[in-house]
Amino acid sequence: MTALPTSTQRKLGLVIDLDTCVGCHACVISCKGWNTENYGAPLSDQQPYGADPSGTFLNRVHSYEVQPESAPAQLVHFPKSCLHCEDAPCVTVCPTGASYKRSEDGIVLVNEADCIGCGLCAWACPYGAREMDAAEGVMKKCTLCVDRIYNENLPEEDRIPACVRTCPAGARHFGDFADPDSHVSKLTTERGGFDLMPEQGTKPVNKYLPPRPRDTLGQIDVLAPLLQPSADQPKGFVAWLDRALGAL
C-alpha cells in the first residue's frame, strides 16, 4: 500500500464556478486532446463511430435541472474530475504504489508503469474520478496538467491546466490553496466555496463555488404585453388567410 505525505509544500488545485459554467464541454475536449497527444499513454476510444461508443476521459460535465424553493428552475452544469484529495483513499489502497500524492505540490498521480489495472483505486474513490483505459489496461486520472504547469518551454500564460486555459466562460481557476492570498483561496472565501461530499472525509483540494440566486419577477410577466394579439378580429389579407386555413 502507498503512504500519503504527512504534509505538502503547496496545495495546487481548481476552483470551479457553478454559476458561470455554461456546460459547453470545452474543458472536456481540451483535456482529452492535451492528455492524448502529450502526457503518458493516449486516452483511448472504443468504437468512437459505432453503435456503442466509449472512451477514457479525465474530465466530464454533468448537467442537472434544479428547482430551488420559491424560485424558477435552473440548469446547473457540474464539471467533475479528480479532486486531488489531501486524504486520498485511491492512494492508500493501491497495492503497487502506482498511485501516489506528491509532497511538493499535493498533486495525485498514477505511475502507469507500475499500475496493474486492478481497479482498487476506482473502487475507493467516492467521486468516480478514476477511469480504466481499455486499450492500455491501466487507470487514468486528472494530472492537473503537471506537464504544462512546470513546462518552461511554454509561454507563462499557458502554464496552467488545459481545461482552465480553454474555458470560454472563465468558470475554472487554478492556484495554490496553501497560500491564503492566492486567487483561488480568496475566491473560495468570498463566494463560499465548498467541498464535494465532505462527509467522505477525503478533504478534497478542489473547491466549487455555488450558483448565485436568480432574479425573480414575482407575478409580473414582462412578456405578457408583447404576447397580446394586435387586434380582436383579423382584417384584410390576414382575415382571408385565416378563413382559408380554417377551411382546410
> pLDDT tens digit string along 191-224?
999 999 999 999 999 999 998 876 655 545 555 5
The answer, yes or no, to whether residue 41 has pLDDT greater than 70, is no
The pLDDT of residue 224: 59
Q: CB of 100 within 8 A of CB of 109?
A: yes
- Say how far apart CA 179 and CA 9 lie, in whole Å: 10
Q: How many helices (H) and strands (E) does the chain have?
A: 8, 11
Domain 12-209: state its class. alpha beta
In sequence order, what DSSP letters do the residues of 171-191 get, joined into one string? -EEEEETT-TTSHHHHHHHHH
Q: How confident is the model at residue 242, as a pLDDT?
A: 74
Band of the pLDDT at 225, cuts 50, 70, 90?
low
Nearest-angstrom CA–CA distance, 141 and 146: 12
> In this predicted structure, what is the pLDDT of residue 27?
97
Q: To the nearest whole number, what is the mean pLDDT of the chain? A: 89
Enter the C-alpha cell of residue 195.
467541498
Q: Which sign, positive or negative, has the C-alpha torsion 44, 48, 51, 56?
A: positive
Residue with cell 428552475: 73
Domain boundaries defined on the chain: 12-209
Of 56, 127, 130, nearest to 99 by C-alpha is: 130
- pLDDT tens-place string over residues 55-104: 999 999 999 998 877 777 889 999 999 999 999 999 999 999 999 999 99
pLDDT (0 to 100) of residue 229: 61
